[in-house]
Structure 1
C-alpha cells in the first residue's frame, strides 16, 4: 500500500503532507503551488498525509504504483504516465488469477483441484 495523488487539481498547496510525512515522500513545487509525490518508494503507508489532506487530493492505494528503485525509474520511458502505471498495476492481479486458474485446470494430473494430502 502507498499514497497516490487522486487529483492534482484538488491540491490547495497547504503543505500539510510535506510537513507531516515522516518518510520525506513529498516535495513542494513553489512554481505551481502544489505538493508532489517525489519519493513514493519511501512511503510506509502510515496515512498521516491522507488523513490531513485538506484538499482531499490523496488516496491510499492497495496497489503499489511506485517504482522500487531509482535505477528502475531511470529505465522507464518518458511516455509512461501515472494513469498508465495504475491501469497496468490494477490489471496485473487479474492476469495472475487467470494464469493460476489455467495452471490449476490444465496441469494437475486429473485431480479435482483440492489438496489431497498426498501426491
Structure 2
C-alpha cells in the first residue's frame, strides 16, 4: 500500500496518513488482520515525526478501523472495516460540504437526524 503526504497541504499530516489507511481499507487493499507499518518505520519513510503517525493510528483506532496492541503493532480490525472506512470517507465529505455551505454542527446533525425518521 502506498502512503503519501503533502507537506504544502492545509490538511494536517496525521489526517493525511489516516486518510491513506481509510482509502486502503475502503478500496479493499487492506483486509481484516492486515498489519500496518510500525509507527517509526512509516514516519521515517514519509519524513514525518513518529508522533504524527501515532496520532493518525490513534484516530483510526477511535473510529474502530484498526486495533493497536503494544508489541504487536497496528492491525486492521476484523469487524467490517471496509464498510466502516467507506462510511467514514462519506462522513468526512459530508462535513466538508456542510462547512462549504455555511452549516454549523447542530444544523448538520439536525439534517442527518431527519433522515433517520
**TM-score, with normalisation over the residues of structure 2?**
0.28
| Greater strand fraction, Structure 1 or Structure 2 | 1
| Greater helix fraction, Structure 1 or Structure 2 | 2
**TM-score, with normalisation over the residues of structure 1?**
0.28
**Structure with bigger gyration radius:** 1
